[in-house]
Amino acid sequence: MKTHFAILVGILGLAFHAAWGGELISLSTPGGSVRGEVVRVTKSEVVLKTTAGKEQSVPMAFLKPKEVYFCRKQVIGAEDAQAHFDLGEYCIKNKLVDEGQLELTIAKRLDPKTFGARADELLGALKATAETGTNVAAVKKADETSPEKGTDKGVSKTGKTEQPPDKSAKTKEPPVDPVAAVPGEGDGDYVEVKTQDGKTIRVPRQFVVNRENVPERSPEEMKKFLDGQLELLKKYCSGNWDREQPREWKMEETAHFYIFSNLKPEHQSYFKTQCEDLYKLLSEVLEHKEGEPLWNNKCPIYFLSNREQFRSFGANIDHTPMAMTSGGYFSHRGRDVHIVVPLLPRTRNEAEKEVIRRATSTLRHEGTHAFLQLVGNNVEISRWLHEGMAQFIEFWYDALNNPERRYVERSLTQMVLDDQIMSWEESNDRPMGGGDHAGYAFAWARLLYLYRQFQNDKRKLPNMVRLIKEGKSEKEAMEQAFGQKYEKLEEVYRQWIKQAAKSNFKGL
């Protein structure tokens, strides 16, 4: 690390304390990802409260060290020095250098008498490791025979602590390719799936990708559905964010969307235009042609006028009560998809123009998720690609003045200056949740690089997506689409991002 080492870790500590309370997180499983709030972490599993309000367990054997870290981070007490120290040691053992620095620094600050010297020893070794390029595994560990030494434990919100599993255990099941995970004969809560190497293993049923073929609605069925949604909105979602006289809910149809709102007429008209403009841009970037696979019928979009509407919609209509912790979302069952965009003033007197601007950004972000997921084959897509593409399209508009883009650019520039460029291997499963700002930033940077560096042939990026959708691994798809080895692409990316940071990503 450079001289920013201690200062940066201190800032990150504050950021993590502020960001992680009640955060939704996504965990990878053999059949795809599971999203929810971490309830507890034990030696054998992580238990999430899903957006549907149910508890769901994810076996530790399915998780990577980075995922385990984020889960444990969710449930440890902010003032629990021992827990932070234990988590820091776990990070060091699993080569999570930045996270280890953060946790050890927090432990030292909370209890300098107990952890000061031990944290300094490990932090010093980490700093030397970063400066010399020595493998992190060579970092000197604390004396394991010390009677003071805490055990490397997981922690639950009930205060229970348990030992996490050995991720290198020989009994760990082989990875499962979601595309190849075809349900076989099973019993109860388990089904048999085939792994990439052809082996058959038993996996909890909820981890197999749901490839249910949800048919399109007939015109009569569609009318019944749309009328029913309007009645539910009138029943559960009254009121307006602008505090004017309540307006009636209505649905307006465009070429590709059903748009529900009780907004002012001028705002309703504005969002109708924005929806179709977004569809046109996504079709251009991903080379989608009318008639090719996408979503069923037209995509419903719900514009909700305040936080109470958003909460009530999730709880009573969408049956996803945890969704209100997000800033908007898309949801799909097969190709039956919808998008939810709340208008959420940050202050009582926030300017109407700013509320509409943020809602427009949410529309573009979540609309991109929906489009990317369903264009071509409906398969699992890596987190970096999903979030990188969503930000890429969101930031496409008003690139010079977009405040969210400016924030990401500044964050990236600082991380590049601090020699903290995230490797592609590390960032493949990032971001882990809404508080993972570095994960979001580097996802956008990689997508921006793949588009801008090869902008003389803009078919390369959509070709990569198409190949992934056809079942190729991401590495194979990238190499075939861009005509270079994966390692060479990443090497040039590292040079590109260093150069881009010099101008704070201006003009890209």
The DSSP-derived string for 232-285 is: HHHHH----TT-SS----EEEE-SSEEEEE---HHHHHHHHHHHHHHHHHHHHH
Written as tens digits, the pLDDT of the chain (508 aa) is 333 323 233 323 333 333 334 567 778 766 567 778 888 898 778 888 877 778 888 887 778 888 889 889 888 888 888 999 989 888 888 888 888 888 888 888 888 889 988 888 887 766 655 554 444 333 333 333 333 333 333 333 333 333 333 333 333 333 433 333 333 333 334 445 555 455 555 544 444 444 568 899 999 999 999 999 999 999 999 866 555 667 899 999 999 999 999 999 999 999 999 999 999 999 999 999 999 999 999 999 999 988 889 989 988 999 876 676 678 998 888 899 999 999 988 888 889 999 999 999 999 999 999 999 999 998 888 999 999 999 999 999 988 889 999 999 999 999 999 999 999 998 988 887 777 889 999 999 999 999 999 988 989 999 999 999 999 999 999 999 999 999 999 999 999 999 999 999 988 8
Helix (H, G, I), strand (E, B), or coil: what is residue 9?
helix
3-state secondary structure of 58: strand
State residue 194's pLDDT score: 52
Sorted by sequence, the CB contacts under 8 Å of residue 346 that are 6+ apart come out as: none
Contact 404, 374 (CB under 8 A): no
pLDDT for the residue 497: 97
CA distance 136 to 126: 7
- Does 431 sit behind a cis peptide bond, omega within 30 degrees of 0 on the bond before it? yes
- The topology under which CATH files domain 219-374 is Zincin-like (3.30.2010)
What's residue 465's pLDDT?
97
The enclosing H or E element of 97 equals: helix 97-110
pLDDT of residue 79: 84
| Range list for CATH 3.30.2010.30 in the chain | 219-374
Per-residue pLDDT, 8: 31
Q: Which residues pair with 336 in a beta bridge?
A: 333
pLDDT of residue 323: 72
Residue 442 burial class via C-beta count within 10 angstroms: exposed 0-12, middle 13-18, buried 19 and up: buried
Distance CA 204, CA 188 (A): 9
State the DSSP string of 22-48: T-EEEEEETTEEEEEEEEEE-SSEEEE
pLDDT on residue 421 = 95
Question: Are 184 and 193 in contact, with CB atoms under 8 Å apart?
Answer: yes
| Closest to 500 measured CA to CA, from 388, 415, 379, 433 | 415
Reference 431, options 423, 421, 441, 422; nearest CA is 441
Q: Which residues are bridge partners to 337 per DSSP? A: 332
How far is CA 191 from each of CA 44, 179, 188, rounded to the nearest angstrom?
20, 15, 8
Pairing of strands 329-333, 299-304: unpaired
Residue 484: the pLDDT is 96
* 474, 467 contact by CB (below 8 A): no
What integer pLDDT is reported at residue 156 of this predicted model?
A: 34
Enter the tokens of residue 146: 């010390």
The pLDDT of residue 30 is 61
Q: What is the pLDDT of residue 67?
A: 86
